[in-house]
Amino acid sequence: MLVRVLTIFPEMFAGPTESSIIKRAQDQGLLKIELIDIRDFSTDKHHKVDDYPFGGGAGMVMKPEPFYACFEALDLQPGTRVIMMTPQGETFNQEKAQELSGEDELILICGHYEGIDNRVKHLVTDEISLGDFVLTGGESAAMAVIDCVGRLIPGVVGDPSSLHEESFNLGLLEYPQYTRPRTFNGQEVPDVLLSGNHQEIRRWRRAQAVTRTFFHRPDLLVDVPWDEEDRRTIDQILLAAP
């Protein structure tokens, strides 16, 4: 996958894209990240990319001309997904990440200041937000998208089965995890995980995932397909409630 990031602060991506799984994906040739400085496409002698907003108001707005000039230079293939990071976008989630991981190329547009001239939206296929909060610019949000989507590219994560059981993939939060030592600070690893009984381990993990989701993200339970074991777990939670 090729990910092109349009930004005025390409240096911000140095750390997050040069370590851990995302670095390994690039080393393996499974992911390529191209950082494009929008200032390079400004015709202003000072490479200015922003101006005062029409109608007045605080702050500056990013101009449309550099973006259009950049897109002309990129010569994109038809159907390329062009994503603008913006608070007005749909909230990013694991389902969207799975969808985007199947693309050959993504363009991520990072706004700054008070935003981008609305006419740039004509270049955009998707608008994405990380949530109901405001960041200094779109760069941090783009990094999160690259990290989330990049690790879903086939071959990036060593054990693909680990992706299947993560939080949100099954509509639930992930079950608790344990490793050695068996006893730490007086806390024991649950016996079922040491039993070797894979069916009982699966049941325990599912029940723990349901319980975690019930207490921490009950909104997720609306869309989860239930079976009898899940219903019993919920009944037990309700019966134990004060």
CA distance 5 to 37: 8
Domain co-membership, 12 together with 105: yes
Token pair belonging to 235: 């009944």
- Provide CB contacts within 8 A for 98, sequence distance 6+: 152
Domain assignment of residue 75, yes or no: yes
Domain co-membership, 51 together with 122: yes
Domain co-membership, 235 together with 183: yes
CB 145 within 8 A of CB 42: no
Task: Please give the C-alpha separations between residue 150 and each of 24, 46, 112, 214, in angstroms, as whole numbers.
Answer: 10, 35, 24, 29
Domain assignment of residue 46, yes or no: yes
State the DSSP code for 123.
G
Domain co-membership, 189 together with 105: no
Domain co-membership, 127 together with 175: no
For 205, the domain range is: 165-240
Domain co-membership, 187 together with 141: no
Instruction: State the greatest distance between any 2 C-alpha atoms of the chain, in Å, as a whole number.
Output: 71
Q: Residue 126, SS3?
A: strand
Where is the domain boundary, 84, 119, 150? 150
State the DSSP code for 116.
B
CA distance 114 to 87: 11
HSE-up of 231 (CA within 13 Å, CB side)? 4
Domain co-membership, 40 together with 145: yes
Give the strand pairing for 50-51 and 187-188.
unpaired
CB 42 within 8 A of CB 12: no
Where is the domain boundary, 127, 150, 173? 150
Tokens 């702050």 correspond to: 59
Residue type, 167: S
**How many H helices and E strands in the chain?**
7, 9
Domain assignment of residue 227, yes or no: yes
Domain co-membership, 28 together with 89: yes
Tens-of-pLDDT digits for all 242 residues of the chain?
A: 999 999 999 999 999 999 999 999 999 999 999 999 999 999 988 999 999 999 999 999 999 999 999 999 998 889 999 999 999 999 999 999 999 999 999 999 999 989 999 999 999 999 999 999 999 999 999 999 999 999 999 999 977 766 766 667 778 999 999 999 999 999 999 999 999 999 999 999 999 999 999 999 999 998 888 889 999 999 999 888 87
Domain co-membership, 112 together with 196: no
Domain co-membership, 25 together with 52: yes
Domain assignment of residue 155, yes or no: no
Res 171: pLDDT: 85
Cα torsion for 83, 84, 85, 89, to the nearest 10°? -90
DSSP-H helix ranges across 151-197: 160-164
Domain assignment of residue 156, yes or no: no
- Provide CB contacts within 8 A for 22, sequence distance 6+: 16, 31, 33, 146, 147, 150, 151
Res 168: pLDDT: 73
Domain assignment of residue 159, yes or no: no
CB 149 within 8 A of CB 19: no
Where is the domain boundary, 96, 123, 150? 150
Res 217: pLDDT: 92
**Quick one: residue 111, left, alpha or beta (phi over 0 = left, psi -120 to 50 = alpha)?**
beta
Structural domain count of the chain: 2
Domain assignment of residue 160, yes or no: no
CATH of the domain at 80: 3.40.1280.10
CATH of the domain at 205: 1.10.1270.20
Domain co-membership, 133 together with 173: no
- Give me the sign of the Cα torsion angle 229, 233, 189, 174: positive
Domain co-membership, 49 together with 100: yes
Res 141: pLDDT: 97
Domain assignment of residue 86, yes or no: yes
